[in-house]
Structure 1
């Protein structure tokens, strides 16, 4: 049996996986949804990106987890990818859910599609990235109820985690990895991911939904995750 370690993206905590966890547990697997420092019930805890990497590594090592399927969504793909490099033979597979991936020396902000200056303009005076509003979630396959749940649970994201550069310890393409592309958020992975998918160790899966499949299609997402633990 696998141990799923589930890490949601910006503004979210472990609660985001509430509808994904039951099918994984019913199949007999360990499930460990994780809230990163500075978010949700850990709001106010100072955090940079390497804090988030250590949150993930520490969870795995403190619980002495083996056969780990490490899952990172959106922003969380950056610390999850770094953590996957550092946990050695505890890792079975890393799954990136419509996520960014770490690039050594680069940050989440440096890869922002509108440029770093545009990203910097979105950071609030207190140094946090404010959560999205309902209009930002249009076209993502979410019901009104799902939109409300996502917004109500979101907390500001600590800005330092978005501007601190990644530190890679080995080529990411060497890791056993699956990339889940959510098609409503764009039909193709970004260029960095596309290059990684050329590796024999990586594979691509698509979902006909938006960027938050743990809300829009939790049962289907759980089914895909279970297939990656086989």
Structure 2
């Protein structure tokens, strides 16, 4: 059976996938939402750096002895998910990046965009990237209720996981994958995502929604995830 391991972006935990996971399970998929160290119910669990989050994902796959694994990374978590994809070897079936950053050897989540304000926030908040205000989620296809869920459920994010570089023994372009671009967050992939999509092993799928489709269009996202690994 195909096993979906779902990893949400910065400040979020496994709870963010509740509706997507329910839809995938209804279609007969095995689903394993994962909270990374230092977030949500794992606040207080040390997350000293980027490799801690990679280890979280690899350890979950090995602990459950999962095979035929689809690793799904949203936003920030594309960085640890990409590294975990390399490390789990033949357990991997597919990678799906949901409007996500792409793991590139030697580059961090903050590489490639103006990050000084984020770095300053981390330094000013004891090494944590603080929770975001409601305005951060505006104009992304979310209802007021969905924004309230995000604001209430988020937790500060361990800053070192954002600033430390990825370690990639092989480029992600060598693995089969799907990149989901959320169009309210930009018309097309850019930077490392655009480079990744030059690989003939990767497919681009657009969603007419914002950066948090697990809230704004969870059933459509579940359909795309399901179909990303359904043989024609």
Which range, TM-score by smaller chain? over 0.9
1:117 is aligned to 116
2:167 is aligned to 167
Deviation digits for residues 167-186 of structure 1 (CA, Å, limit 9, x no counterpart): 00112110101000000000
Deviation, structure 1 residue 109? 1.9
Q: Matches of 1:206 and 1:188 in 2, distance apart?
A: 9
Deviation digits for residues 157-200 of structure 1 (CA, Å, limit 9, x no counterpart): 00010111100011211010100000000011112111111111
Indicate yes or no: 2:27 matched with 1:20. no
Q: Matches of 2:111 and 2:185 in 1, distance apart?
A: 20
Q: Matches of 2:93 and 2:107 in 1, distance apart?
A: 26
1:187 is aligned to 187
Deviation digits for residues 93-141 of structure 1 (CA, Å, limit 9, x no counterpart): 0000000011111111223x22x32321222331100111111111100
Q: What are structure 2's unaligned runs of at least 5 residues?
A: none
Deviation, structure 1 residue 88? 0.9
Deviation digits for residues 72-104 of structure 1 (CA, Å, limit 9, x no counterpart): 000000000000011111111000000001111
Count, aligned residues: 228
SS at match of 2:66: coil
Q: Which runs of 4+ in 1 moved over 2 A?
A: 116-119
2:152 is aligned to 152
Q: What are structure 1's unaligned runs of at least 5 residues?
A: none
User: When the two structures are superposed, what TM-score results if normalisation uses the length of structure 2?
Assistant: 0.96
User: When the two structures are superposed, what TM-score results if normalisation uses the length of structure 1?
Assistant: 0.97
CA contact (8 A) 2:109 2:163 kept: yes
Stretch deviating more after TM superposition (70-79 or 184-193): 184-193
